[in-house]
Amino acid sequence: MAAFNSVEVKHVHVITPAEPPPPCLLPLSAIDSQLMLRFPNEYLLIYTPSPALDRSTISSSFRAALSQVLVSYFPLSGRVRERPDASGLEVVSRSQGALFLEAVSDCYSAEDFDRPPPSIAKWRGFLTFPEEDALDGSPPLVVQLTWLKDGAAAVGVGLSHSLCDGIGSAEFLNSFADFAAGRLRAASELKPPPVWDRHLLNPQPQFCHRRYSSPPPEFQRVPDLCRFMSLFTDEPLVPTAVTFGKTHITSLKSLAHSTRRPGVPALTAFEVLAAHIWRSWARSLKLPPNQTLKLLFSINVRKRIKPNLPSGYYGNAFVLGCAQTTAGELAEKKLDHAASLVRKAKERVGDEHVRHVAETLSESRVCPDLIGVLILTQWSRLGLEKVDFGMGRPVHVGPICSDRHCFLLPVNNQTDAVKTMLAVPTSAVDKYESMVRNVAT
> How distant is the alpha carbon of residue 277 from its chain centre?
17
Distance CA 197, CA 176 (A): 21
User: Taking a C-beta distance cutoff of 8 angstroms, is the pair 56, 145 a contact?
Assistant: no
Distance CA 338, CA 252 (A): 12
- The partner residues of 93 in beta bridges, in order of sequence, read 24
Distance CA 50, CA 60 (A): 17
Of residues 131, 138, 112, 134, the one with CA closest to residue 123: 112
Of residues 255, 260, 291, the one with CA closest to residue 439: 255
DSSP state of 308: P
User: Taking a C-beta distance cutoff of 8 angstroms, is the pair 148, 395 a contact?
Assistant: no
The count of residues in the chain is: 441
User: Helix, strand, or coil here: 376?
Assistant: strand
* Choice among 32, 161, 178, 396 that is catalytic: 161
Question: For this structure, is 396 an active site residue?
Answer: no
Tell me the longest C-alpha to C-alpha distance in the chain.
Answer: 64
User: Helix, strand, or coil here: 251?
Assistant: helix
Count the neighbouring beta carbons within 10 Å of the beta carbon of residue 342. Answer: 24
Q: Which amino acid is at 329?
A: E
Residues in Cβ contact with 406 at an 8 Å cutoff, skipping those fewer than 6 apart: 277, 281, 374, 375, 376, 377, 420, 421, 422
The long-range contacts involving 305-308, CB below 8 angstroms and separated by at least 24 positions, are 305/201, 305/350, 305/351, 305/354, 305/355, 306/351
Sheet holding 24-27, edge to edge: 24-27, 89-93, 79-82
CA angle 235, 377, 251 (to 5 degrees): 95
Phi/psi at 197 (5° precision): 45, 45
Question: For this structure, is 161 an active site residue?
Answer: yes
* Choice among 224, 351, 388, 403 that is catalytic: 388
User: Taking a C-beta distance cutoff of 8 angstroms, is the pair 99, 141 a contact?
Assistant: yes
Instruction: Point out the residues that are catalytic.
Output: 161, 388
